[in-house]
Copies of this chain bind each other. A is one copy, B any other.
Amino acid sequence: MVSTPTLPAGSVGHVETRFADLPDPVRLDCGRELGPVRVAYETYGTLSPERDNAILVCHALSGDAHAAGYSRTTPEAGTRDGFGAERRDGAAGRSLGWWDGMIGPGKAFDTDHYFVISTNLLGGCRGTTGPSSVNPATGRPYGSDFPVITVADMVRCERAFLDTLGIERLAAVAGGSLGGMQALEWAVLYPDQVDAVVSIASTHALHPQGVAWNMIAREAITRDPAWQGGHYHGTGRSPDAGMGVARMVGHITYLSAPALADRFDRRLQFTEDIRYTIGEPEFEVESYLRHQADSFVKRFDANTYLYLSRALTYFDLARQHGGGSLTRALAGVSARTLLIAFSSDWLYPPAASQEIEEALRDLGKPVEYHLIEAPYGHDCFLLEEAQQTPIVRRFLADGRARTEKPS
């Protein structure tokens, strides 16, 4: 990490994605074992001599290990295009981390205090082993031979990865959306190893409409003939058409209707009057969506989309750990929990965070729930840094105060 005078204040500077090979296979919920497993990761800040200041940040469906700072590197495995193309800085092809506004000196996850670790999750396509990685049994990419994974599998993989860094306990585990699911799963699977959980714009189980949107996105990919049953690698064809549709569906569910109206209204793309076209974009919102789809398919693997989408629809703390009861599922949690939801988020609506809050409160566990009024929908967790930052900083500072008191 090198700091240069051209970097804005609060930046962690230039970073590089690194890779760790897990010593053992990962045992999966589906009954299979997966190995070898490589994990792509980045770190920001400095690990304390006591190794007690590590925060694991978990990304959402389309994220990667590059959470903060500027990167010039491109992880080789599984990517089909430049890293973070949509976030690329104008100057020198530098690409900004997906949660840069939240991670850095003086930011929500303050690298003056914490050693922040970000990994690409299991099943990913940005350096961690996933469906586009080489299957040692065949010498070719797994494709749909990759085992079906769960959020718990991702967390087990993260646990094994932290072992390679010699980190036993986490001061916190944090994430938004699918990342927030991982944070909650950490608190349940490893209650003695997590001091605090920060779960943002997330849920204990996606509601049926969210299940439906994810199913439609997956169908858009698997119905594309270029998907070829999942074995498109090396064929010269890939299901870009279906992936584009999947991304467009996802994109609209990440935004709120008022945010779309504010930004695009019903403005036409090129002329003052309609052009009477069926297939071409006519409204600005149509053109925007097509652009989002085109840039996404260049940087993301379709199978990874399928596997992660399935994992997040399967995620259900009550079913997995509580025999149907969320309270029972959370009974063993010992971490302090911070839940943040956004008023306009209809994909991961505030009600789900409130259900988690109530269950933890019934159990007498320390929990805070904050509802942030913000208009952008689910994407607020990536955009509303100003409102999230003081909440997260104070929550983490409370944790430091507790650990310091006894000494």
User: Interface-forming stretch among A37-45, A279-287, A331-339?
Assistant: A279-287
Copies in the complex: 2
Question: A residues engaging B (CB < 8 A)?
Answer: 29-30, 144, 147-148, 205-209, 211-213, 215-216, 218-220, 222-225, 230, 241-242, 244-245, 248-249, 252, 257, 260-261, 263-266, 274, 276-279, 281-283, 285-286, 289-290, 293, 306-307, 310, 313-314, 316, 319, 346
Quote the shortest CB–CB distance from A231 to chain B (angstroms). Answer: 13
Are A264 and B208 in touch, CB under 8 angstroms? yes
Are A215 and B313 in touch, CB under 8 angstroms? no
What's the Cα separation between A151 and B194 when bound, in Å? Answer: 59
What's the Cα separation between A29 and B263 when bound, in Å? Answer: 29
- Select from chain B the residue with minimum beta-carbon distance to A207: B261
A249 neighbours in B (Cβ, 8 Å): 216, 249
Q: Which of A144, A147, A266 has the most CB of B within 10 A?
A: A266
Using A219-B244, A225-B225, A245-B220 as known contacts, say yes or no to A261 and B148 having CB atoms under 8 A apart: no
Are B219 and A310 in touch, CB under 8 angstroms? no
Are A266 and B211 in touch, CB under 8 angstroms? yes
A313 neighbours in B (Cβ, 8 Å): 282-283
A206 neighbours in B (Cβ, 8 Å): 266
Contact of A266 among B208, B215, B257 (CB under 8 A): B208
A223 neighbours in B (Cβ, 8 Å): 224, 241-242, 244-245
A147 neighbours in B (Cβ, 8 Å): 276
List 10 A-B pairs, minimum CB-CB distance, nearest first.
A223-B241, A148-B276, A209-B257, A30-B276, A215-B286, A208-B260, A216-B248, A208-B285, A208-B264, A209-B260
Are B289 and A252 in touch, CB under 8 angstroms? no
Are B260 and A212 in touch, CB under 8 angstroms? yes
Q: Tell me what chain A mostly uses at the interface: helix, strand, loop, or mixed.
A: helix
What's the Cα separation between A293 and B219 when bound, in Å? Answer: 11
- Select from chain B the residue with minimum beta-carbon distance to A346: B257
Using A220-B245, A245-B219 as known contacts, say yes or no to A261 and B212 having CB atoms under 8 A apart: no
What's the Cα separation between A147 and B278 when bound, in Å? Answer: 9
Besides A212-B289, A215-B248, A220-B220, 11 other A-B contacts (C-beta < 8 A): A144-B278, A144-B279, A216-B245, A216-B248, A218-B278, A219-B245, A222-B279, A223-B242, A223-B244, A223-B245, A225-B241
What's the Cα separation between A147 and B223 when bound, in Å? Answer: 29
Are A148 and B277 in touch, CB under 8 angstroms? yes
Are A279 and B220 in touch, CB under 8 angstroms? no
What's the Cα separation between A257 and B319 when bound, in Å? Answer: 21
